[in-house]
């Protein structure tokens, strides 16, 4: 390779990234630019490209905030418009991305008629199903995150409603679709866990106060919270320091589903070696008050960390010491109890600043002292 080869490759990579999608709201991701009057039949969107920047398929409605469905008032979380996906309906946008890069998609969704609604999110060729049976906020809206790795320079982001309801107008409302490039942290000699400070994660809308849900993603290869998996039935909430009390830095994880909301990571360990798992437990300063307990598990060891929450913020630190039994050890955090705020929204303790280090075994016997007789 010539002496100009390496700089040229770097320049090409920089140009490639520059043309990729920027972090934040997708083009017309809030659906404020709507169809022309001639492209609407009531609320139904007529024409695949009627909504600027989007391609629609199936029964898709363009909903204005305050629209009534029977006795139910449909509220839009941000702005004045959203879309509703009927049976087997979908919205699609072509994205220019950086091949090989990791991304997290964030969007807001609300149930309307059905209680068992779910959404299929895909970015060629990855896909995942996000359950919506549980509503975590009291507003009727929740923000969800989903992660993927780009295998092509361009791909289609698709949000699809796979439901089959008797009323074709029943289906989830979708609003505020955003994206963020993820930079998965590397392991260091100071922490055997990745992203222990939770700083790397999905995009959080600056004008919303309900955080972003990391849904159960056991089957998904790429987590929107790098390094971590939600190995449970309920989601874990990703919160920011702008709207919540965070023990350290700008981000933390909130366990909002009791024992059904578990946050886990697999670490490389050496069998027989001793380790110390350190972490912070607190409340998010969101009026979630009462006695809380976070349980931590690693190898055959466990630790219950009680915390008395006043709902105004604060935290304490804890250490779980254990001996590794395998070459890989799963670290798990969950909340012993279920919690809810006065407005009925689900809440719980926050976990942050998690670190795993190898430590000397203090109980290891010292070799006997040998005396030399003269």
Q: Domain limits of the chain?
A: 19-182, 194-200+232-363
Q: Report the CATH fold assignment for 19-182.
A: Jelly Rolls (2.60.120)
Write out the two tokens for 345.
């929204």
Higher per-residue pLDDT: 280 or 261: 280
Equal fold, 19-182 vs 194-200+232-363: yes
Where is average pLDDT lowest: 96-100, 215-219, 263-267?
215-219
pLDDT at 370 over 70: no
CB 44 within 8 A of CB 83: no
Mean pLDDT, to the nearest integer, of 244-250? 98
Alpha carbon distance 156, 54 (integer Å): 10
HEC profile for 317-339?
EEEEEEECCCCEEEEEEEECCCE
What pLDDT is attached to residue 219? 54
Counting residues of the chain whose pLDDT is more than 90, the rounded percentage is 72
pLDDT at 162 over 80: yes
pLDDT at 92 over 70: yes
pLDDT at 124 over 80: yes
Q: Is the dihedral of CA 73, 209, 214, 222 positive or negative?
A: positive
Instruction: Spell out the CATH class of 194-200+232-363.
Output: mainly beta
Mean pLDDT, to the nearest integer, of 4-9? 45
Confidence band of 19 (pLDDT split at 50, 70, 90): low
pLDDT at 362 over 60: no
Counting residues of the chain whose pLDDT is more than 70, the rounded percentage is 89
Confidence (pTM): 0.89
What pLDDT is attached to residue 114? 63
HEC profile for the chain?
CCCCHHHHHHHHHHHHHHCCCCCEECCCCCCCCCCCHHHEECCEECCCCCCCCCEEECCEEEEECCCEECCEECCCCCCCEEEEECCCCEEEEEEECCCCCEEEEEEEEECCCCCCCEEEEEECCEEEEEECCCCCCCCCEEEEEEEEECCCCEEEEEEECCCCCCCCCCCCEEEEEEEEEECCCCCECCECCCCCCCCCCCCCCCCCCCCEEECCCCCCCCCCCCCCEECCCCCEEEEECCCCCCCCCCEEEECCCHHHCEEEEEEECCCCCEEEEEEEEEECCCCCCEEEEEEEEECCEEEEEEEEECCCCEEEEEEEEEECCCCEEEEEEEECCCEECCCCCEECCEEEEEEEEEECCCCCCCCCCCCCCC
Q: Mean pLDDT highest for which of 14-28, 121-135, 248-262?
A: 248-262
- The pLDDT tens digits of the residues spanning 304-318 come to 999 999 999 999 999
CB 91 within 8 A of CB 175: no
- The pLDDT tens digits of the residues spanning 187-196 come to 888 999 999 9
- The pLDDT tens digits of the residues spanning 216-241 come to 865 556 899 999 999 888 999 999 99
């Amino acid at each position: 390779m010539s002496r100009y080869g390496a700089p040229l490759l770097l320049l090409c990579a920089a140009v490639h990234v520059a043309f990729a999608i920027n972090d934040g709201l997708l083009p017309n991701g809030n659906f404020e630019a709507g169809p022309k009057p001639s492209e609407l039949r009531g609320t139904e969107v007529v024409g695949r490209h009627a909504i600027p920047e989007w391609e629609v398929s199936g029964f898709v409605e363009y909903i204005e905030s305050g629209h009534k469905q029977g006795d139910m008032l449909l509220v839009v979380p941000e702005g004045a418009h959203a879309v509703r996906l009927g049976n087997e309906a979908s919205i699609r946008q072509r994205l220019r991305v950086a091949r090989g890069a990791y991304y997290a998609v964030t969007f807001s969704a609300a149930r309307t008629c059905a209680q068992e609604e779910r959404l299929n999110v895909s970015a060629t060729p990855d896909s995942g199903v996000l359950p919506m049976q549980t509503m975590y906020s009291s507003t009727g809206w929740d923000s969800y995150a989903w992660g993927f790795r780009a295998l092509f320079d361009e791909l289609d982001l698709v949000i699809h409603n796979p439901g089959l309801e008797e009323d074709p107008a029943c289906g989830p409302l979708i609003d505020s679709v955003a994206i963020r490039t993820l930079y998965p942290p590397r392991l260091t000699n100071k922490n055997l866990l990745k992203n222990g400070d939770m700083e790397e994660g999905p995009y959080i809308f600056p004008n919303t106060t309900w955080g972003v849900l990391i849904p159960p993603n056991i089957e998904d290869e790429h987590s929107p919270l790098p390094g971590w998996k939600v190995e449970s039935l309920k989601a874990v909430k990703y919160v920011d320091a702008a709207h919540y009390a965070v023990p350290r830095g700008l981000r933390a994880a909130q366990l909002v589903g009791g024992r059904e909301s578990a946050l886990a990571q697999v670490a490389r360990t050496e069998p027989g070696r001793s380790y110390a798992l350190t972490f912070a437990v607190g409340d998010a300063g969101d009026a979630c008050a009462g006695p809380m307990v976070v349980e931590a598990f690693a190898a055959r060891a466990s630790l219950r960390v009680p915390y008395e929450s006043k709902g105004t913020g604060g935290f304490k630190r804890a250490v779980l010491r254990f001996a590794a039994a395998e070459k890989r050890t799963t670290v798990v955090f969950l909340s012993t109890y279920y919690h809810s705020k006065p407005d009925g929204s689900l809440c719980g303790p926050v976990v942050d600043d998690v670190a795993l280090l190898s430590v000397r075994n203090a109980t290891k016997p010292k070799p006997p002292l040998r005396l030399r007789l003269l």
